[in-house]
Amino acid sequence: MTLRLALFDCDGTLVDGQAGVIAAMEAAFAAVRLPAPDRHQVRRIVGLSLPQAIRLLAPDADEDARQAADLAYREAFRAAREAGSLVEPLYDGIADLVADLGREGWLLGVATGKSQRGLDHCLAMHGLSAHFVTLQTADHHPSKPHPSMIDTALAETGADRAACVMIGDTQFDMAMAVNAGVRAIGVDWGYHSADELREAGAEAVARDPAHLRELLQ
């Protein structure tokens, strides 16, 4: 029996995490006296690993300032999480989709620019932790679109590359899938447009979770 693996991005695909990312990034830049990042640009880099995201948002800053911003971001995000003010709502229909795919025999995983701690908290908060058998985070891999996350997920699960699909809302997710030689399906409820997803390699773009389920059949 062929093992099928569906890998999901997190922010912009499973949950709408942009508010928390923007708030933490603004707090981090203020803490190290860097000019406030443009909110639209912050939204555009959601999905990248934190050091890469900060390099893009602060191209003129020196490396010391970027490293300080990295630490300040992590602290701001942790503080929001511990204070209970972090809002990362699931998109409508995602919980049912995840449960249905599991019942249909899919192996499920996550490949995200989040930290391991952040992902664990997010999945636990929504009662989804038990559904995912492989979790790949920025703590252990190069930033997307490097294929390392997908390669490791395949190794951990024993799934065939030809039976793996990467599901995400950004060009980074689609390019990572192309680089890893797996299927790429975009979702249009996240942070990059459907046209951008197709240009980056998406074979299709789902309108909603019900449409995504159809595309996975």
Which of the following is catalytic: 11, 16, 70, 173?
A: 11
Handedness of CA 31, 123, 42, 85 (dihedral sign): negative
- Reference 24, options 63, 73, 68, 65; nearest CA is 73
Rounded CA-CA distance 115/79 in Å is: 15
Per 3-state DSSP, the chain is made up of helix, strand and coil in percentages (nearest 5) of: 50, 15, 35
Q: Per the omega criterion (within 30 degrees of 0), is the bond before 142 cis?
A: no
Q: Is 16 an active-site residue?
A: no
Which of the following is catalytic: 9, 16, 70, 169?
A: 9
Handedness of CA 193, 197, 203, 208 (dihedral sign): negative
Q: Is 64 an active-site residue?
A: no
b/e per residue 158-167 (b: at least 16 CB within 10 A): ebeeebbbbb
| Angle CA 128–178–46, to nearest 5 | 50
Instruction: Collapse the DSSP code of 190 into the 3-class scheme (helix H, G, I; strand E, B; otherwise coil) and give the result.
Output: coil
Q: Which residues are catalytic?
A: 9, 11
